[in-house]
Structure 1
Amino acid sequence: MAGDFEALKLFRQAGLAGEILTGTFQKTPSRHVSEVLARSGLDFVVLDAEHAPFGIDVIDDILAPTRPIGFPVLVRIPELRPSFIGACLDAGAAGIVVPHVTSAEKAIEAVAAARFAAGGRGLSASGRAGGYGAMTLGDYMGDSDAAVSVWCQIEDVEAVDNLEAICAVPGVDALFVGRADLMRSLGAGTTGAPAVVNAVEKIARIGLAAGKRLAIFITDADEAARFKALGFSIFICGSDQSMLKARAQATKAAISGLSPSSGLSRGSACA
Structure 2
Amino acid sequence: MTIPYLRRALATGPVVGTFLKLPRPEVVDVLAGCGVDFVVCDHEHAQISEREAREVIRAGRAVGLPVIVRVPDLDRGLINRLLEAGAAGIQLARAESGTGRPLGDLMRYPPEGTRSVSPAQPAAGYGAIPLTTFLPRSNADVLAVGQLETASAAADPDAAVAGLDVAFIGPVDLRVALGHADDPDHPDVTQAVTGIRAAAARAGIPVGTYVAGPDEVAAAVGNGYRYVVVSSDLALLAAGARTVLGRR
- Cα displacement (A) at 1:175: 0.4
TM-score by length of 2: 0.92
- Cα displacement (A) at 1:119: 2.4
- Cα displacement (A) at 1:23: 0.5
Q: 1:251 to 1:147 in 2, by over 3 A?
A: same
Aligned mate of 2:205, from 194, 202, 212: 212
Q: Distance in 2 between matches of 1:184 and 1:18?
A: 33
TM-score by length of 1: 0.85
Corresponding residue for 2:42? 48
Aligned ranges for residues 36-185 of structure 1 at < 5 Å? 36-104=30-98, 106-117=99-110, 118-169=112-163, 172-185=164-177
- Cα displacement (A) at 1:63: 2.1
Q: Cα deviation per residue 1:213-260 (whole Å; 9 max; x = unaligned)?
A: 010000112123433343212110000000000010011117x9xxxx
Residues 201 and 230 of structure 1 are in contact (CA less than 8 Å); yes or no, is this contact kept in structure 2? no
* Sequence identity percentage: 32
Q: Which runs of 5+ in 1 are unaligned?
A: 257-271
The root-mean-square deviation of aligned C-alpha atoms, in Å, is: 1.9
Residues 172 and 181 of structure 2 are in contact (CA less than 8 Å); yes or no, is this contact kept in structure 1? no
Q: Cα deviation per residue 1:168-190 (whole Å; 9 max; x = unaligned)?
A: 43xx2110010111111101132
Deviates more, 1:197-206 or 1:21-30: 197-206
Corresponding residue for 2:4? 7
- Cα displacement (A) at 1:34: 1.0
Deviates more, 1:155-164 or 1:200-209: 200-209
- Cα displacement (A) at 1:153: 0.8
SS at match of 1:93: coil
Q: Distance in 2 between matches of 1:251 and 1:158?
A: 43
Q: Distance in 1 between matches of 2:160 and 2:189?
A: 19
Q: Which runs of 5+ in 2 are unaligned?
A: none
Runs of 4+ in 1 over 6 A off after TM superposition: none
Deviates more, 1:177-186 or 1:116-125: 116-125
Aligned mate of 2:179, from 176, 184, 187: 187
Larger radius of gyration: 1
Corresponding residue for 1:235? 228
Q: Distance in 2 between matches of 1:131 and 1:189?
A: 46
Q: Distance in 2 between matches of 1:160 and 1:27?
A: 28
Residues 95 and 153 of structure 2 are in contact (CA less than 8 Å); yes or no, is this contact kept in structure 1? yes
| Number of residue-to-residue matches in the alignment | 246
